[in-house]
Amino acid sequence: MRQWNFAIQTQLKKDLSVDVAYVGNKTTHVQLISVADNVPDPGPGAIQSRRPYPQWRQFFLGESNGNATNNALPSRVEMSPLA
């Protein structure tokens, strides 16, 4: 996961301020799925001889292929009460 942010705060008037920020993150390889491999082709005859790798039985491969991103712009305008 990678994260980044940036923020600015400024006073526009004596009783008025503004905050603006940028927050983002990116995540890769978040979803792990299991995929069957060495599955025999349909047809007659012995199952093992119809497999792509007949020396092995069916096995599963784990694949991470999900990605996620988030971008946000939190902001605030604040007016101070007059004294």
Domain of 10, in residue numbers: 2-77
What's residue 29's pLDDT? 79
Domain count within the chain: 1
Asked if residue 42 is part of any domain, the answer here is yes
What pLDDT does residue 17 have? 95
Please write the tens of the pLDDT for every residue from 24-83: 999 987 777 888 899 998 999 899 999 999 999 999 888 777 889 999 999 999 998 865
- The answer as to whether 83 is a domain residue is no
In a domain, 6, yes or no: yes
Written in H, E and C, the secondary structure of 17-37 is EEEEEEEEEEEECCCEEEEEE
In a domain? residue 82:
no
pLDDT for the residue numbered 66? 82
In a domain, 20, yes or no: yes
